[in-house]
Amino acid sequence: MTAADSAQILKDACIAPEIFQLRPDYRALLLEAENKSFGAKPNKTRNSLEALSQRITKAGGGLPRVNRLTDIYNAVSVKHQIPLGGEDLGKYEGAPFLVCASWSEPFQAFLGSGRRWSTPPLES
């Protein structure tokens, strides 16, 4: 993927109006998933920053090694205390569109080297 391809994907990306009704710190980052949409309980499921920070505060703990790019944004995330992540734009089909989950859309879960499609469980 070229820089021009990446620029075009970002130019075509859309953000649904309801995203701007989220908490201000979520809007500033465009979206930090609230976990609730995917059936996870926020008080039990930590966001990436909280999970990484907890790992390094344990005796002998450190950041997990994934790959160079992931290792870099994990380190920046912990150092500056902001959740960060990355996307492989080469794997996108169409332009990204940021919306609040409807609880019915399929999503991809990557478990190890395998990929499976799933629908998030409805949580009341």
Structural domain of 55: 48-82
**15, 75: one domain:** no
Number of domains in the chain: 2
pLDDT tens-place values along the chain, 124 residues long? 677 877 777 777 777 777 666 555 544 444 334 333 444 455 566 677 888 888 888 877 788 888 888 888 888 888 888 877 777 777 777 777 666 667 676 666 555 565 555 555 544 3
1 and 25 part of one domain:
yes
Half-sphere exposure of 90 (CA within 13 A, CB side): 3
Which residues neighbour 73 within 8 Å (Cβ) at sequence distance 6 or greater?
A: 84, 85, 86
User: What is d(CA 8, CA 22) in angstroms, rounded to the nearest whole number?
Assistant: 26
Supply the pTM of this predicted model.
0.45
Using the CB atoms, write b or e for 90-114: b if 16+ within 10 Å. Answer: eeeeeeeeeeeeeeeeeeeeeeeee
